[in-house]
Amino acid sequence: MKVLGEKLVSFASLIEDETVEQARQVASMPFIHGHVALMPDAHAGKGSSVGTVIPTLGAVIPAAVGVDIGCGMIGVQTDVLAAEVVLDLFALSNQEEEL
**Residue in 77, 29, 81, 78 with CA at minimum distance from that of residue 56:** 29
Average pLDDT over residues 75-92: 76
Pseudo-torsion of CA 26, 10, 36, 27, nearest 10°? -30
On whether the CB atoms of residues 23 and 51 are closer than 8 A, the answer is no
Q: 41 a known binding residue? A: no
Q: How confident is the model at residue 66 (pLDDT cuts 50, 70, 90)?
A: low
Cβ contacts of 80-83, under 8 Å, gap ≥ 24? none
pLDDT value, residue 81: 82
More confident residue, 97 or 47: 47
On whether the CB atoms of residues 76 and 54 are closer than 8 A, the answer is no
**Residue in 25, 31, 27 with CA at minimum distance from that of residue 47:** 25
How high does pLDDT run on average in the chain?
83
